[in-house]
Amino acid sequence: MARRRGGGHGGHGWFVTFADLMALLVSFFVILAAFSTQDQKKLQAVAGSMRDAFGVQRNIRYSGVIEVHGLPTRPKLKNAARIPPEEASANPTPDEHDRSRTSGARLNQDHAFALAAASLRQALQDLPELTEASKHIMVEETREGLNVEIVDQDGRSMFSEGSPEPYERTRRLIKKLSVPFKALPYRISVTGHTSATKRWSHPGYGPWELSAERANSVRRILEEQGVSTANFYMVAGKADTQPLFPDDPFIAANRRVTITLMREEPPIPLDFSP
């Protein structure tokens, strides 16, 4: 029998199957990695495309975590009834009204804090003779409120070493800051901080006492300039427990006094009318 010429060089059959298996595994792990961090918009798009491809039950609005219309919803909310358009209402529910009111109040408060920060910076610019001292002031908005930090720098402190009494330039700076403080409706918190130290040279008098007395000195100066006693929320010393630069608690910038305009909920509802 004559041999067939030009026969194929076919490889091992198991190798092709193994290669297909590896390709499927790689695709599987790529999908796992892609879904490990969920993107809200992409998740909605995937849910919507699955709905269009396979269809859904029209009588059930929710299916597990994914709404049938492609919108993520709460995982425990299932079989909620669909509301016909003719039964819908344009009036907000009480919860929606409260959320809208709270959001509006927060926006107004953020705007007020921005104006307060601008007025404080303007007050510092109005003192050209204290330009160097004003470099020790940091104004920052936080979750607690608007922080005004009086910070030490290397080679130039705002308080005498180991003393609760500020230098004269520091006193004049605090007096200047008291002008916008009197005009603002917020309560004030004053907190003293020290830098970390390996040894304290004054037995019986440590960083807790020093930080508290420096905060109280600032409070007294503000009161002398007309800030009402009732406006003070808290006067405290934190020693070295809250460094401004945690990576280096020994540097001079951790020595500071923080004056905070407190961010608080209004004591009376905005829509209250006697």
Summarised one tens digit per residue, pLDDT across range 84-126 is 666 655 555 555 445 544 454 455 666 777 777 777 777 666 6
What confidence score (pLDDT) does residue 135 get? 76
Kindly state the tokens that stand for 168.
């004269």
- Give the tens place of pLDDT for each residue, 55-87: 554 444 444 444 444 444 444 444 455 666 666
> Is residue 270 included in any domain, yes or no?
no
Q: How far is CA 210 from CA 159, 160, 167, 238, in A?
A: 11, 11, 15, 10
Query: What is the arithmetic mean of pLDDT over 224-253?
Result: 92
Contact 51, 70 (CB under 8 A): yes
In this structure, the answer to whether residues 47 and 105 fall within a common structural domain is no
- Give the tens place of pLDDT for each residue, 2-55: 555 544 555 567 778 888 889 999 988 888 877 776 666 666 666 766 666 665
Q: Looking at 54, 84, 114, which one is the last position of a domain?
A: 84
Contact 125, 232 (CB under 8 A): no
Region class of 117: left (phi > 0), else alpha (psi between -120 and 50), else beta:
alpha
Q: Which of 141, 140, 129, 142 is nearest to 176 (CA)?
A: 129
Contact 235, 216 (CB under 8 A): yes
- Give the tens place of pLDDT for each residue, 160-192: 888 899 999 899 889 988 988 888 888 999 999
> Is residue 210 included in any domain, yes or no?
yes
> Is residue 146 included in any domain, yes or no?
yes
CATH number of the domain to which 201 belongs: 3.30.1330.60
In this structure, the answer to whether residues 57 and 122 fall within a common structural domain is no
> Is residue 28 included in any domain, yes or no?
yes
pLDDT at 143 over 90: no
- Look up the domain containing 49 and give its range: 15-84
Note the pTM of the prediction, 2 decimals: 0.57
What confidence score (pLDDT) does residue 129 get? 60
In this structure, the answer to whether residues 104 and 237 fall within a common structural domain is yes
What confidence score (pLDDT) does residue 98 get? 52
Alpha helices in 153-194 (DSSP H): 168-183
